[in-house]
């Protein structure tokens, strides 16, 4: 064990007073797992390091694993509760008419919810296919950022990198670039990474500059030009990939409220329909909290999927 510091104690008339000035240092050394030895009559104090870096790393790894496990359990509990939740909506025109739907059908954490999200995107993008553009990928360096911190910041990092790229472009006299951002998980590491597509763009910025703005490893940014790709299919592809995500990654997406994708309204070629609402929420309860008989006492006409209701415990 190597000595990392050495302080000579001048005893003078009051050696206790001299030692008292070193007490804060000695206490801190003991917290770090050091061994303190004094060899009278020279009164030298040696602080010896006992493999502190390794101990700290192992402790951090254990803590992170415990945190991740708790987060995954919380997510699984949330999914379980959501899968059992039924929502009743009633007709605004006819108060005796209702529908019973499963709330999970609109959630990105369930297959049916992902299908609906993709259908909505395809409809709104109006078949926006076959154009050229830039595809950029931004990855994290595990040596510079922890997995939990990467997941916590991937949403804000996506907004930040777009803002900084456009600041550089404007200073260079180039028009602002608009992109479509999506998040994906790296199966090998469990870290998130960003994909950003820039439809109909032939040049983004120098790769070295973009890498500098991103602030991770020197090879953490990849930029390629494509003659032909589908922006609509690009977004839907990464939504489909959620089918293969582990619960750990899903939990981070959920707990951090990270958007799976985002895009400029410029890419919505079909405007949102402005129509008069036909339905309104009436109630929502966990399965088995009420029966179909109880619902029929409130409504004369109830529209529901019989198989789904049986699966949800309805009677």
Give the residue from 93, 1, 12, 4 showing the smallest Cα distance to 45.
4
CA quadruple 122, 125, 126, 132: dihedral sign: negative
- DSSP, collapsed to helix, strand or coil, labels residue 211 as helix
**Spans of the chain, pLDDT less than 50:** 1-16, 18-19, 38-57, 311, 315
CA quadruple 222, 228, 234, 237: dihedral sign: negative
* C-alpha–C-alpha distance, residues 182 and 193, integer Å: 9
Instruction: Calculate the average pLDDT of the chain.
Output: 80
φ, ψ for residue 8, nearest 5 deg:
-90, 135
pLDDT for position 29: 62
CA distances (Å), origin 238, targets 11, 131, 246, 261, 285: 71, 19, 14, 8, 32
pLDDT for position 31: 61
* C-alpha–C-alpha distance, residues 251 and 71, integer Å: 6
Domain boundaries, the chain: 3-48, 127-267
φ, ψ for residue 9, nearest 5 deg:
-95, 120
* C-alpha–C-alpha distance, residues 259 and 32, integer Å: 41
Residues 110-129 as b or e (16 or more Cβ within 10 Å = b): beebbeebbeebbebbeebe
pLDDT digits (tens, 9 = 90+) for 224-234: 999 999 999 99
* C-alpha–C-alpha distance, residues 154 and 298, integer Å: 47
Instruction: Indicate the pairing of strand 97-102 with strand 85-91.
Output: antiparallel
């Amino acid at each position: 064990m190597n000595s990392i510091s050495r302080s000579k104690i001048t005893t003078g008339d009051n050696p206790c007073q001299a030692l008292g000035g070193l007490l804060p240092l000695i206490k801190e050394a003991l917290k770090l797992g050091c061994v303190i030895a004094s060899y009278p009559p020279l009164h030298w104090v040696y602080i010896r390091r006992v493999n502190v870096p390794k101990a700290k790393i192992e402790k951090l790894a254990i803590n992170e694993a415990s945190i991740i496990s708790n987060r995954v359990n919380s997510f699984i509990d949330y999914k379980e509760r959501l899968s059992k939740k039924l929502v009743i909506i009633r007709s605004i025109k006819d108060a005796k008419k209702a529908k019973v739907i499963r709330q999970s059908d609109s959630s990105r954490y369930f297959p049916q919810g992902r299908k609906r999200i993709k259908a909505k995107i395809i409809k709104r993008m109006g078949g926006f296919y076959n154009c050229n553009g830039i595809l950029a990928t931004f990855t994290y360096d595990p040596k510079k950022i922890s997995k939990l911190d990467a997941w916590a910041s991937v949403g804000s990092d996506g907004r930040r990198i777009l803002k900084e790229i456009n600041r550089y472009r404007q200073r260079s006299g180039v028009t602002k670039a608009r992109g479509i951002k999506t998040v994906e998980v790296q199966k090998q590491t469990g870290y998130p990474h960003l994909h950003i597509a820039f439809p109909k763009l032939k040049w983004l910025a120098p790769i070295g500059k973009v890498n500098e703005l991103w602030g991770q490893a020197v090879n953490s940014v990849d930029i390629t030009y494509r003659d032909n790709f589908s922006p609509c299919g690009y977004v839907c592809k990464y939504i489909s990939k959620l089918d293969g995500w582990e619960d750990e990654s899903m939990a981070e997406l959920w707990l951090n409220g990270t958007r799976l994708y985002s895009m400029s309204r410029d890419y919505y070629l079909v405007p949102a329909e402005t129509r008069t609402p036909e339905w309104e929420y009436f109630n929502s309860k966990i399965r088995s909290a009420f029966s179909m008989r109880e619902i029929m006492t409130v409504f004369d006409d109830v529209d529901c999927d019989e198989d789904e209701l049986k699966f949800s415990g309805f009677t």
